[in-house]
Amino acid sequence: MLDIRFVRERADEVVTALKKRGEGTEILNAFLAIESQRRDLLKIVEEKRQVRNTITKEVGNLKKQGKDASSVLKEAKKVSDGIAEKEEVLRELDRKGMDELLLIPNIPHESVPVGTDESQNKELRVWGAKPDFSFEPLNHWDIGENLGILDFERAGKIAGARFVINKGAGARLERALMNFMLNVHTKDHGYTEILPPILVNRESMTGTGQLPKFEDDLFKLSEESKGFLLIPTAEVPVTNMHRQEILNENDLPLYYTAYTPCFRKEAGAYGKDTRGLIRQHQFNKVELVKFVKPEGSYDELEALTANAEEILKRLGLHYRVVCLCSGDLGFSAAKTYDLEVWFPAQGKFREISSCSNFEDFQARRAGIRFKKPGKKGTEFVHTLNGSGLAVGRTVAAILENFQQEDGSVIIPEALRHSMGTDRISKL
């Protein structure tokens, strides 16, 4: 959420931002109209309240002294008359204004390249090299099925499309990766491990920006089941840990890492990545989340991105880093780096991590502030997060990049100990 005052006083900057994102200004205009009505009414209501407070105090004094207050009471009644209705209208305007404000996306950072879609994302660096195959590399789903470690068919039977069963070495690989990632981030990068709820309430989803705009992308339990929502990413519960809190300046920065399953409807993705592990309704992910002071938040983004990259490096996976252009930027983000790993069978890079600085956009929605000792008032923290990494996609990348002509797959050095083997072969 943007600062109300900022939107009001510097609407032109919001318009510029919306244009960069390729979005219209209807919502902004609707908001501004409601907001000006709200402020006018607020002034009136507050004046009335002030009058009422004064008279009411007088009533109290008279009664205390045992004097007759009936004439003042009459006046008081008159003043109070009509306040209730006006307050009701004010509440309505409040709600409506907030509804609109919650739909306005974040302002892209000045360093974000302007562009309309992903084709204009900017490649920043490439690590490693494409593997050399003396044979036609297979898709990861064929490798996985051939090895008997991924079972999409039975998953379809027990759940439906976009689910998978990991079996044997496939399950172990998934588990080894989760452990590996968590170990690196906790031991080498200084993050605190969190194992959060994966069902959350609406306030949490609103706090990080999934609601109200992206309700259709979320799995939801019925009202009889309390209307819980299934998290699409650990970003939601972990960022909301500090919702409506005032942190101490000394507490910052806070670094958290969390493994969770993630659930996404993929409602707008019909026909996209229908095969394989790339786009599942349920997948595992290790997430990195930071709460930091505003001053250094862009350095923190670089560091967080480097932390995610470190996993790919240690696994020996060829990848590149791109900076999303304004048109491809997510709703809540001010700046995002995507890590894209090489998929040889598809012959292209695919996203495996998305690292963003949300600045105070989520913090304002979620009321996450900090206090500087000795200073009056509070400031919003900056929140950041990134995948470190999406585990299923990492499995897919390992299968494709390290496949051998005989159908086996070489296990990266970093995982061999926990896998108990250096190669997955057909049994």
Partner RNA sequence: GGAGAGGUGGCCGAGUGGUUGAAGGCAGCCGCCUGCUAAGCGGUUGUGGGGGUCAAACCUCACCCAGGGUUCGAAUCCCUGCCUCUCCGCCA
Within 1-30, the residues that bind RNA by CB under 7 A are: 4-5
Rounded Cα distance, 326 and 125, in Å: 19
User: Biggest alpha carbon distance in the chain?
Assistant: 103
- Helix 11-21 vs helix 26-64: angle between axes, to the nearest 10 degrees? 140
Smallest gap from Cβ 60 to RNA, in A, equals: 3
Smallest gap from Cβ 82 to RNA, in A, equals: 10
Q: Tell me whether residue 23 is one of the annotated catalytic residues.
A: no
Q: Tell me whether residue 393 is one of the annotated catalytic residues.
A: yes
- Asked whether position 199 contacts RNA by CB under 7 A, the answer is no
Residue choice 55, 176, 254, 333 for contact with RNA (CB under 7 A): 55
Q: Which of 23, 249, 310, 351 is catalytic?
A: 351
Smallest gap from Cβ 263 to RNA, in A, equals: 20
The region of 36-44, 267-275, 328-336, 346-354 touching RNA under the rule CB under 7 A is 36-44
CB 283 within 8 A of CB 86: no
- Asked whether position 422 contacts RNA by CB under 7 A, the answer is no
Question: Nearer to RNA by C-beta: 221 or 267?
Answer: 221
- Asked whether position 64 contacts RNA by CB under 7 A, the answer is yes
Contact pattern from residue 219 through residue 238 relative to RNA, giving x for each residue in contact according to CB under 7 A and a dash for the rest: -------x------------
The strand pairing partners of 284, in sequence order, are 261
Q: Tell me whether residue 354 is one of the annotated catalytic residues.
A: yes
> Structure tokens of 235?
């970003």
- Asked whether position 261 contacts RNA by CB under 7 A, the answer is no
Smallest gap from Cβ 220 to RNA, in A, equals: 16
The region of 106-114, 256-264, 374-382, 399-407 touching RNA under the rule CB under 7 A is 374-382
Q: Which of 297, 332, 353, 354 is catalytic?
A: 354
Rounded Cα distance, 293 and 379, in Å: 9
Smallest gap from Cβ 214 to RNA, in A, equals: 23
- Asked whether position 246 contacts RNA by CB under 7 A, the answer is yes
Question: Nearer to RNA by C-beta: 89 or 410?
Answer: 89
CB 357 within 8 A of CB 233: no
- Asked whether position 83 contacts RNA by CB under 7 A, the answer is yes
Q: Tell me whether residue 351 is one of the annotated catalytic residues.
A: yes
Rounded Cα distance, 49 and 309, in Å: 57
Q: Which of 162, 204, 393, 400 is catalytic?
A: 393
Residue choice 19, 43, 275, 426 for contact with RNA (CB under 7 A): 43
Smallest gap from Cβ 328 to RNA, in A, equals: 32
- Asked whether position 37 contacts RNA by CB under 7 A, the answer is no
3-state secondary structure the chain: CCCHHHHHHCHHHHHHHHHHHCCCCHHHHHHHHHHHHHHHHHHHHHHHHHHHHHHHHHHHHHHHCCCCCHHHHHHHHHHHCCHHHHHHHHHHHHHHHHHHHCCCCCCCCCCCCCCCCHHHCEEEEEECCCCCCCCCCCCHHHHHHHHCCEEHHHHHHHCCCCCCEECCHHHHHHHHHHHHHHHHHHHHCCCEEECCCCEECHHHHHHHCCCCCCHHHCCECCHHHCCCEECCCCHHHHHHCCCCEEEEHHHCCEEEEEEEEEECCCCCCCCCCCCCCCCCCEEEEEEEEEEECHHHHHHHHHHHHHHHHHHHHHHCCCEEEEECCCCCCCCCCCEEEEEEEEECCCCEEEEEEEEEEEECHHHHHHCEEEECCCCCCCEECEEEEEEEEEHHHHHHHHHHHCECCCCCEECCHHHHHHHCCCEECCC
Judged by CB under 7 A, the number of residues near RNA is 35
Q: Which of 162, 172, 264, 369 is catalytic?
A: 264
Residue choice 32, 41, 79, 102 for contact with RNA (CB under 7 A): 79
Smallest gap from Cβ 284 to RNA, in A, equals: 21
- Asked whether position 42 contacts RNA by CB under 7 A, the answer is yes
Question: Nearer to RNA by C-beta: 57 or 275?
Answer: 57
Smallest gap from Cβ 75 to RNA, in A, equals: 9
- Asked whether position 405 contacts RNA by CB under 7 A, the answer is no
Q: Which of 175, 279, 314, 320 is catalytic?
A: 279
- Asked whether position 243 contacts RNA by CB under 7 A, the answer is no
> Structure tokens of 103?
């739909």
> Structure tokens of 382?
């900056």
Q: Which residues are catalytic?
A: 264, 279, 351, 354, 393
Binding site residues, RNA, CB under 7 A: 4-5, 39, 42-43, 45-46, 49-50, 52-53, 55-57, 59-61, 63-64, 73, 76-77, 79-80, 83-84, 88, 91, 226, 246, 369, 371, 376-378
